Chains A and B, each alone.
Chain A
Amino acid sequence: MTVINARFKLNYDDFRLDVDLTLPSTGVSVLFGHSGSGKTTLLRCIAGLEQAPLGYLEINEHVWQDSKRQIFIPTYKRPLGYVFQEANLFSHLTVLDNLHFGLKRIKNNLGLIKLNQTIELLGIGHLLARMPNNLSGGERQRIAIARALALNPEILLMDEPLASLDLKRKQEILPYLSRLHQQLDIPVIYVTHSQQEVAQLADTLVILEDGHILAMGPLAETQSRLDLPLAQDREAATVWQVKIIEHESDYHLTRVEFEGGSLSLAAIEAEIGAVLRVQIYARDVSIVLIKPSATSILNVLPAVITELIEGRDSQTVVQLKVGQQLLLAHITRKSLLLLGLKIGMLVFVQIKGTSILN
């Protein structure tokens, strides 16, 4: 069930883009890379804001571009929503008129219902009469998101929507994006260079470098691939999807389950059955051969070593499988030799810390 097939070849003086991309029809696909990696150009090609001389783009079985057959649907005829890095609101229109701008141009009765839902979802009801110049950066960006969603698009494209905001504003918007993530039934392609946003939002991760695709796949799988620089990074982590099964109020803890096991986390205010994302940094994971009988660490889980790689300096990166979940551990080379760790070994992992992402 793929929704997006995209192949683009484009040559500028100092930059080449050469990609072949297949993305799923649901969830958030994050295009991740450094500046200059071509992630924004790729997104603009998908939107039709940039026309790659050689390109093929198919979304939901509709061809938007096929350079072989001279097909290029202009942006304004593509049923998409686009959120720019700068909110790009029309400064001569009120917030409400900005929201209505696209809506007036589509023949779709769903529009107004969708708009009211979106206004509520993004918490912008009190801003409708204001002019864009009198809003904070965070408010502007929320309106830009609502403006794009109001169109009831078949796909939502977001180009670093948080990059121009300071940390405080980012924290203000991220919860809204997480909510969107849970409630949207359309695919989202999200461009970012922030690992935090990847961890929080991505279902599928596409890593770009110098105009080509370095890796793409489900988040946890791609995050824990040892052949990618991401796993070596000091901030390397894996994100697990977990479900709340029990509150241990005596200890201020919450038990969550994942595919093949369970974890204890600091108390979370959410109902039993709620689904969350938990991020586990590789530096917070240690490996023991025998299950310790006495330890202060709550989360000790059986695991299988699936891959090993010697990283920079004294560091070794270990990929393990816990139940059905992949996990990364950063350990020293010395520990690797002392414990005699090998691929296929059964060990225990101690998880010192976790962070809840939403």
Chain B
Amino acid sequence: MLSSADLDTLLLTFKVAGIATTIMLLIGTPLAWWLSRTNSSLKGVINAIVALPLVLPPTVLGFYLLVLMGPTGIIGQFTHWLGIEALPFTFYGLVVGSVLYSMPFVVQPLQSAFAMVGKQSLEAAATLRASPLDSFFSVVMPLAKPGFITAAILGFTHTVGEFGVVLMIGGNIPNKTRVVSVQIYNHVEALEYTDAHWLAGCLLLFSFTVLLVLYSQFKSPPMAQQFK
């Protein structure tokens, strides 16, 4: 059975993933919209930065975040100026790390969904008296719904499974930064294979259920479009 410590890590993990996913959707939606429409020369740079965590080893990302968010880093000085405690080894440090780490999994499906909405629907909406903002909510968002679902699920599950970044910036503090993937690692280190099995099994079941729901909802796999 799951011990109460294990349950705590599960809860904490879902809390981090939930908050991070919400933030990613809030930032990722306008970012993806801009990326799908713009002809700006900055587009390539921004795209590359957003996609970087796809290829960067998590420990590298975690290392830089640790340095930047630490007391001498730029972000660290900023948080100090704001009167907030330094982000490393805190819950919100984890959230910030997760947002950066999982952002491409949110931005890319949104971007391709927005691109598929096409100019024509927006022009039709404009001739029907809808302002650009109105069109975004009444036309673009409903038409891009599969993209939003894919983005939310990928962002969430990817955050749940994160290990390297957490270890670098969050450490292993119970009830604060100890997430489930770290807890499995702890169990294995301590040769508590039964406990590791329980937690690993939970994550396996969770991931499979999410995918099952996703694939049975859409006829064509929504994730396939992500890497096109």
Contact = CB atoms under 8 A, between A and B. Distances in A.
**Ordered nearest first, which 4 A-B pairs have the shortest CB separation?**
A102-B128, A82-B127, A105-B129, A75-B126
26 contacts: A47-B127, A49-B127, A75-B126, A75-B127, A76-B125, A76-B126, A76-B134, A77-B129, A81-B127, A82-B124, A84-B120, A84-B124, A88-B120, A89-B124, A90-B121, A90-B124, A90-B139, A90-B143, A91-B143, A92-B142, A92-B143, A92-B145, A101-B128, A102-B127, A102-B129, A151-B129
A243 interface: no
A226 B127 CA distance: 39
Contacts of A77: 129
B149 interface: no
Contacts of A74: 126, 131
A246 interface: no
A148 B124 CA distance: 10
A220 B72 CA distance: 83
Nearest to B135: A76
B127 A105 contact: no
Contacts of B61: none
Interface string B121-152: 10111111111101000110011010000000
Contacts of A148: 127-128
Given A88-B123, A90-B124, A76 B143 contact: no
A81 B124 CA distance: 10
Given A86-B120, A90-B121, A80 B142 contact: no
A345 interface: no
Given A49-B123, A88-B121, A105 B128 contact: yes
Nearest to B123: A49
Interface residues of A, number: 25
A4 B143 CA distance: 36
Contacts of B132: 76
A189 to B, nearest CB: 13
B130 A105 contact: yes
Contact of A105 (B124, B134, B143): B134
A49 B122 CA distance: 10
Interface in A94-113: 101-102, 105-106
A84 B123 contact: yes
Nearest to A100: B128
A80 B145 CA distance: 30
Nearest to A147: B128
B146 to A, nearest CB: 11
Contacts of B120: 84, 86, 88
B123 to A, nearest CB: 6
Contacts of A105: 128-130, 134
Contacts of A90: 121, 124-125, 139, 143
Given A88-B123, A91-B143, A92-B142, 6 more contacts: A81-B127, A84-B124, A92-B139, A101-B125, A102-B129, A148-B128
